[in-house]
Amino acid sequence: MQIHYRPVKEQESYSRRLTGPLPFASMLRSYKLYLMLLISSIFFIVCQNQGSITSLVSNVAAAPSASAADDPLGVPDVVAAPLQALGVGNDGIELLYGGDSEPSLGAEKIRSRSLNFKDMPLKLNDRSSSTSAATSSSAATTTTTTTSTVRTTPTTTTTKALSTTTSGNGVSKSDSGSLGRVTDVPYRFPVDTKLLPPLYIITPTYRRPEQIPELTRLGYTLKHVQNVLWIVVEDSENRTASVARLLEEIGVPFVQLAAPMPAQYRKQKVKPRGVSNRNRALQWIRANATEGTLYFADDDNTYNLKLFEQLRHVRKVAMFPVGLISKYQVSSPIVKNGTITGFYDGWLGGRKYPLDMAGFAVSVKFLHSRPKAQMPFKPGYEEDGFLRSLEPLDLKEVELLASNCTEILTWHTQARKNPPAPALDRKKYGGTNLVQLTSWLV
């Protein structure tokens, strides 16, 4: 048998043919395949993250406008900072910063549930009363979520701050001359008042050891209430720095007034305390408010938040129980089949409306229809006299809140009376923290 061997040279040629470089066409096809895979991967990633990319582009586009909006009063930081450090705005009006604000930034940020809005109270001083009404620095309130932005348009109410003096009956009158000028102070409620009627909370107060603690409790309660304006009226010739500082710190939009008790009533054994304060607040509401509800909320009471929400839609007058009043421990209308048949109170005293001051509320529109309505300087008969001044008033028209007067949503808790603090021995404690600490005491 004959065996044929292939020459080695031919085998080497075959080996080179197998291990040599691929043709150019095959390489091009491979690169095209890799490129298609890369493009497909990028397209897939873009599709999966389309929402995040859109949000990123929107945020980048909105950044310049947001930085411009953050400048208080529409001026750059370089100009605004020195003005705010001096407490002066663009128009020369002194700015009064309150709440959780940082004076160096110049805008008060008030948080109310899910709404964030900026307010700038203006301080207007006069001879016997001073007002500090919160004003919004933006035209719209913006609530931001992770995927969308909702814009709520507030309603603007133009308020007029009057320079006033107090007459003998405790009702203020405008001064003449430069002090009698009327200044327009626009105030923006954070939510449209057509959707959420505003509340005007009237709180008379006077200097005593319990004043600051009780105002603190009430103020932080009102901090949970939307569309509220707190009207605090002091029984003094001028507003006090301690109350002003507290109101600014709490951050609830407020108006601070002063209406001292007339001198002839201070000599009485039982004084008509708070009457001049409330009458001054009623005067302010008549001059500045057109809608909503007014409520006399004394600083020595405790309030359930449900009460404030029920007060918003009062058409004329609403009544409801108050706890911890008199020997019966409650003051309330007597209701049978949805109708008031009488009043349950530990002291009737011949009153037609034997109610506690915290047991009724009045519509602002209804108050305007009774221009002569005010509170009398008659101890024990302040509530009765005010409700009588609202007549004609049919009890059938009175709205019964607190589940038809079956719940107690406010209590007359009244802090225990405390004696004045003794004077600090400055020789012994001078240079210590007690010097500043005792400034909080009365």
User: Does the annotation list 300 as a binding residue?
Assistant: yes
DSSP string, 127-150: SS--EEE--BSSSSEEEE-SS-EE
Q: Give the pair of three-digit tokens for residue 223.
A: 């901090």
All residues at 6 or more sequence positions from 307 whose CB lies less than 8 Å from its CB, including other chains? 320, 401, 402, 409, 410
| Paired strand residues for 185 | 159
**Active-site annotation holder among 383, 397, 399, 407:** 383
**Residue 13, CA distances (Å) to 114, 268, 328 in order:** 82, 130, 119
All residues at 6 or more sequence positions from 194 whose CB lies less than 8 Å from its CB, including other chains? 155
Q: Give the pair of three-digit tokens for residue 93.
A: 């009006």
Report phi then psi at 116, rounded to 5. -120, 120
Cis peptide before 103 (omega within 30 of 0): no
Burial class for 399, CB neighbours closer than 10 Å (0-12, 13-18, 19+) = middle
217 within 8 A of 260, measured Cβ to Cβ: no
| Paired strand residues for 182 | 162
Is 383 an active-site residue? yes
Q: Give the pair of three-digit tokens for residue 300.
A: 């020595």
Q: Give the pair of three-digit tokens for residue 216.
A: 């603190």
Q: Which positions make up the binding site for Mn(2+)?
A: 300
* Residues that are catalytic: 383
